[in-house]
Chains A and B, each alone.
Chain A
Amino acid sequence: MLSFLLDSIHPHDIGTILDQEGIAIRTGHHCAQPVMQRFGIAATARASFALYNTREEVDALVEGIQKVREVFA
Protein backbone atom coordinates (compact mmCIF):
# COMPACT_ATOMS: atom_id res chain seq x y z
CA MET A 1 0.00 0.00 0.00
CA LEU A 2 1.44 3.37 -1.01
CA SER A 3 0.17 6.65 0.32
CA PHE A 4 1.57 9.56 -1.62
CA LEU A 5 1.46 13.26 -2.37
CA LEU A 6 2.23 14.75 -5.77
CA ASP A 7 3.68 18.25 -5.77
CA SER A 8 0.91 20.52 -4.46
CA ILE A 9 -1.83 18.74 -6.44
CA HIS A 10 -4.77 17.81 -4.22
CA PRO A 11 -5.33 14.04 -3.92
CA HIS A 12 -8.93 14.37 -5.14
CA ASP A 13 -7.74 15.89 -8.37
CA ILE A 14 -5.21 13.06 -8.71
CA GLY A 15 -8.00 10.53 -8.08
CA THR A 16 -10.37 12.00 -10.67
CA ILE A 17 -7.71 12.04 -13.39
CA LEU A 18 -6.50 8.49 -12.62
CA ASP A 19 -10.12 7.34 -12.60
CA GLN A 20 -10.48 8.62 -16.16
CA GLU A 21 -7.49 6.43 -17.05
CA GLY A 22 -9.26 3.40 -15.57
CA ILE A 23 -7.14 3.35 -12.41
CA ALA A 24 -8.88 3.17 -9.05
CA ILE A 25 -7.06 4.61 -6.05
CA ARG A 26 -8.36 5.94 -2.76
CA THR A 27 -8.01 9.60 -1.87
CA GLY A 28 -8.69 11.74 1.17
CA HIS A 29 -8.39 11.15 4.89
CA HIS A 30 -8.76 7.34 4.79
CA CYS A 31 -10.59 7.74 8.13
CA ALA A 32 -7.22 8.65 9.65
CA GLN A 33 -7.58 12.35 10.50
CA PRO A 34 -5.10 12.22 13.43
CA VAL A 35 -2.33 11.06 11.07
CA MET A 36 -3.17 13.83 8.61
CA GLN A 37 -2.94 16.36 11.44
CA ARG A 38 0.33 14.83 12.60
CA PHE A 39 1.89 15.41 9.17
CA GLY A 40 0.12 18.73 8.61
CA ILE A 41 -1.53 17.63 5.36
CA ALA A 42 -5.12 17.78 4.11
CA ALA A 43 -5.29 14.37 2.44
CA THR A 44 -3.25 11.75 0.60
CA ALA A 45 -3.64 9.61 -2.50
CA ARG A 46 -3.29 5.89 -1.87
CA ALA A 47 -2.66 3.04 -4.27
CA SER A 48 -3.10 -0.51 -3.00
CA PHE A 49 -1.62 -3.51 -4.76
CA ALA A 50 -2.83 -7.07 -4.43
CA LEU A 51 -1.85 -10.51 -5.71
CA TYR A 52 -3.88 -10.10 -8.86
CA ASN A 53 -2.27 -6.84 -9.98
CA THR A 54 0.06 -7.10 -12.94
CA ARG A 55 3.25 -5.30 -13.86
CA GLU A 56 1.34 -3.62 -16.70
CA GLU A 57 -1.12 -2.17 -14.20
CA VAL A 58 1.72 -0.73 -12.15
CA ASP A 59 3.11 0.82 -15.34
CA ALA A 60 -0.35 2.23 -16.11
CA LEU A 61 -0.36 3.89 -12.69
CA VAL A 62 3.00 5.52 -13.43
CA GLU A 63 1.72 6.77 -16.78
CA GLY A 64 -1.45 8.01 -15.12
CA ILE A 65 0.58 9.99 -12.60
CA GLN A 66 2.49 11.58 -15.50
CA LYS A 67 -0.85 12.56 -16.98
CA VAL A 68 -1.87 14.20 -13.67
CA ARG A 69 1.34 16.23 -13.80
CA GLU A 70 0.57 17.27 -17.39
CA VAL A 71 -2.93 18.51 -16.51
CA PHE A 72 -1.55 20.58 -13.64
CA ALA A 73 1.69 21.64 -15.38
Chain B
Amino acid sequence: MPDLRELYQEVILEHSKAPRNYRELATANHRAEGYNPLCGDHFTVYLDLEGDSIRDISFQGSGCAISKASASLMTQSVKGKTRAEADRVFDQFHKLVTGQSPANGNRAELGKLAVFSGVSEFPVRVKCATLAWHTLHAALQGKQQTVSTE
Protein backbone atom coordinates (compact mmCIF):
# COMPACT_ATOMS: atom_id res chain seq x y z
CA MET B 1 0.00 0.00 0.00
CA PRO B 2 1.41 3.44 -0.91
CA ASP B 3 2.64 5.46 2.02
CA LEU B 4 0.69 8.59 2.91
CA ARG B 5 3.83 10.23 4.25
CA GLU B 6 5.37 9.88 0.80
CA LEU B 7 2.46 11.89 -0.58
CA TYR B 8 2.06 14.43 2.19
CA GLN B 9 5.70 15.30 2.73
CA GLU B 10 6.55 18.11 5.15
CA VAL B 11 7.54 20.48 2.32
CA ILE B 12 4.19 19.92 0.63
CA LEU B 13 2.19 20.45 3.82
CA GLU B 14 4.17 23.57 4.63
CA HIS B 15 3.73 25.11 1.16
CA SER B 16 0.01 24.31 1.20
CA LYS B 17 -0.37 26.19 4.47
CA ALA B 18 1.85 29.12 3.48
CA PRO B 19 1.97 29.29 -0.33
CA ARG B 20 4.75 31.41 -1.83
CA ASN B 21 4.11 34.08 -4.48
CA TYR B 22 0.42 33.93 -3.57
CA ARG B 23 -0.88 37.25 -4.86
CA GLU B 24 -2.16 39.02 -7.94
CA LEU B 25 0.76 40.32 -9.96
CA ALA B 26 0.35 44.02 -10.78
CA THR B 27 3.00 43.86 -13.51
CA ALA B 28 1.54 40.74 -15.17
CA ASN B 29 1.38 40.80 -18.96
CA HIS B 30 0.21 37.18 -19.28
CA ARG B 31 -2.29 35.24 -17.22
CA ALA B 32 -4.28 32.06 -17.47
CA GLU B 33 -6.94 30.27 -15.49
CA GLY B 34 -7.00 26.62 -14.55
CA TYR B 35 -10.15 24.95 -13.30
CA ASN B 36 -11.12 21.39 -12.47
CA PRO B 37 -14.91 21.43 -12.39
CA LEU B 38 -15.18 17.95 -10.91
CA CYS B 39 -13.11 18.75 -7.85
CA GLY B 40 -13.41 22.54 -7.66
CA ASP B 41 -9.70 23.37 -7.80
CA HIS B 42 -9.36 26.80 -9.36
CA PHE B 43 -6.15 28.78 -9.93
CA THR B 44 -5.04 31.85 -11.81
CA VAL B 45 -1.37 32.08 -12.80
CA TYR B 46 0.09 35.55 -13.44
CA LEU B 47 3.24 36.07 -15.48
CA ASP B 48 5.50 39.02 -16.05
CA LEU B 49 7.32 37.99 -19.22
CA GLU B 50 10.26 40.02 -20.41
CA GLY B 51 11.05 38.82 -23.89
CA ASP B 52 11.42 35.09 -23.44
CA SER B 53 12.10 35.14 -19.70
CA ILE B 54 9.80 34.81 -16.73
CA ARG B 55 10.73 37.93 -14.79
CA ASP B 56 8.05 37.35 -12.16
CA ILE B 57 5.27 34.85 -11.49
CA SER B 58 2.47 34.53 -8.97
CA PHE B 59 -0.76 32.65 -8.45
CA GLN B 60 -4.06 32.81 -6.61
CA GLY B 61 -6.94 30.44 -6.11
CA SER B 62 -8.15 27.50 -4.10
CA GLY B 63 -7.47 23.81 -4.11
CA CYS B 64 -6.28 20.84 -2.11
CA ALA B 65 -2.91 20.63 -0.37
CA ILE B 66 -1.29 18.91 -3.36
CA SER B 67 -2.49 21.40 -5.96
CA LYS B 68 -1.69 24.45 -3.84
CA ALA B 69 1.77 23.24 -2.84
CA SER B 70 2.47 22.33 -6.45
CA ALA B 71 1.51 25.83 -7.63
CA SER B 72 3.61 27.41 -4.89
CA LEU B 73 6.73 25.35 -5.61
CA MET B 74 6.21 25.84 -9.35
CA THR B 75 6.37 29.64 -9.01
CA GLN B 76 9.65 29.33 -7.12
CA SER B 77 11.02 26.85 -9.60
CA VAL B 78 10.37 28.68 -12.88
CA LYS B 79 11.02 32.27 -11.85
CA GLY B 80 13.90 33.61 -13.94
CA LYS B 81 13.66 30.78 -16.46
CA THR B 82 12.94 31.05 -20.18
CA ARG B 83 9.77 29.60 -21.71
CA ALA B 84 11.67 26.63 -23.07
CA GLU B 85 13.33 25.96 -19.71
CA ALA B 86 9.99 26.20 -17.89
CA ASP B 87 8.36 23.79 -20.34
CA ARG B 88 11.26 21.40 -19.86
CA VAL B 89 10.81 21.44 -16.08
CA PHE B 90 7.08 20.80 -16.60
CA ASP B 91 7.92 17.83 -18.80
CA GLN B 92 10.21 16.37 -16.15
CA PHE B 93 7.70 17.12 -13.40
CA HIS B 94 4.96 15.41 -15.38
CA LYS B 95 7.13 12.33 -15.81
CA LEU B 96 7.86 12.33 -12.09
CA VAL B 97 4.23 12.45 -10.93
CA THR B 98 3.07 9.91 -13.51
CA GLY B 99 5.80 7.46 -12.54
CA GLN B 100 7.74 7.71 -15.80
CA SER B 101 10.83 9.10 -14.15
CA PRO B 102 13.25 6.40 -12.96
CA ALA B 103 14.07 6.76 -9.26
CA ASN B 104 17.77 6.67 -10.04
CA GLY B 105 17.40 8.99 -13.03
CA ASN B 106 18.59 12.54 -13.26
CA ARG B 107 16.19 14.57 -11.15
CA ALA B 108 18.66 17.34 -10.43
CA GLU B 109 16.78 19.81 -12.60
CA LEU B 110 13.65 19.30 -10.53
CA GLY B 111 15.27 20.43 -7.28
CA LYS B 112 12.65 20.77 -4.53
CA LEU B 113 9.94 19.56 -6.91
CA ALA B 114 11.22 16.04 -6.28
CA VAL B 115 9.02 16.00 -3.14
CA PHE B 116 6.10 15.24 -5.47
CA SER B 117 7.48 11.81 -6.40
CA GLY B 118 4.91 10.20 -4.04
CA VAL B 119 2.04 11.44 -6.24
CA SER B 120 2.81 8.68 -8.78
CA GLU B 121 1.45 6.15 -6.25
CA PHE B 122 -1.87 8.03 -6.18
CA PRO B 123 -3.01 8.28 -9.83
CA VAL B 124 -6.19 10.24 -9.03
CA ARG B 125 -4.06 13.02 -7.53
CA VAL B 126 -1.93 13.57 -10.65
CA LYS B 127 -4.45 16.10 -11.90
CA CYS B 128 -4.10 18.03 -8.63
CA ALA B 129 -0.32 18.18 -8.94
CA THR B 130 -0.34 19.25 -12.59
CA LEU B 131 -3.20 21.80 -12.71
CA ALA B 132 -0.97 24.81 -11.98
CA TRP B 133 1.59 23.58 -14.52
CA HIS B 134 -0.97 23.22 -17.29
CA THR B 135 -2.17 26.72 -16.38
CA LEU B 136 1.39 28.07 -16.58
CA HIS B 137 1.82 26.41 -19.96
CA ALA B 138 -1.34 28.13 -21.22
CA ALA B 139 -0.20 31.48 -19.84
CA LEU B 140 3.16 31.11 -21.60
CA GLN B 141 1.34 30.39 -24.85
CA GLY B 142 -1.01 33.33 -24.33
CA LYS B 143 -4.08 31.09 -24.45
CA GLN B 144 -7.33 32.67 -23.27
CA GLN B 145 -9.30 29.51 -22.69
CA THR B 146 -9.58 28.12 -19.17
CA VAL B 147 -7.43 25.04 -18.72
CA SER B 148 -8.73 21.83 -17.16
CA THR B 149 -6.96 18.62 -16.16
CA GLU B 150 -10.19 16.60 -15.87
Interface: B34 (CB within 8 A): no
Asked if A20 and B42 sit within 8 Å, CB to CB, the answer is: no
Asked if A72 and B40 sit within 8 Å, CB to CB, the answer is: no
Using C-beta atoms within 8 Å of the partner chain, give the interface range for chain B.
20 to 34
Q: A13-B65, A16-B125, A42-B62 are in contact. Are A28 and B40 (CB under 8 A)?
A: yes
Asked if A71 and B4 sit within 8 Å, CB to CB, the answer is: yes
Using C-beta atoms within 8 Å of the partner chain, give the interface range for chain A.
10 to 19
Q: A16-B7, A16-B122 are in contact. Are A28 and B65 (CB under 8 A)?
A: no
- Sorted nearest first, the 10 A-B pairs with minimum C-beta distance are A10-B64, A12-B64, A43-B40, A42-B40, A28-B39, A42-B62, A13-B65, A13-B64, A29-B40, A20-B4
**Residues of B in contact with A (beta carbons under 8 Å apart):** 1-2, 4, 7-8, 13, 37-42, 62-66, 122, 124-125, 128
**Residues of A in contact with B (beta carbons under 8 Å apart):** 9-13, 16-17, 20, 27-29, 33, 36, 42-43, 71-72
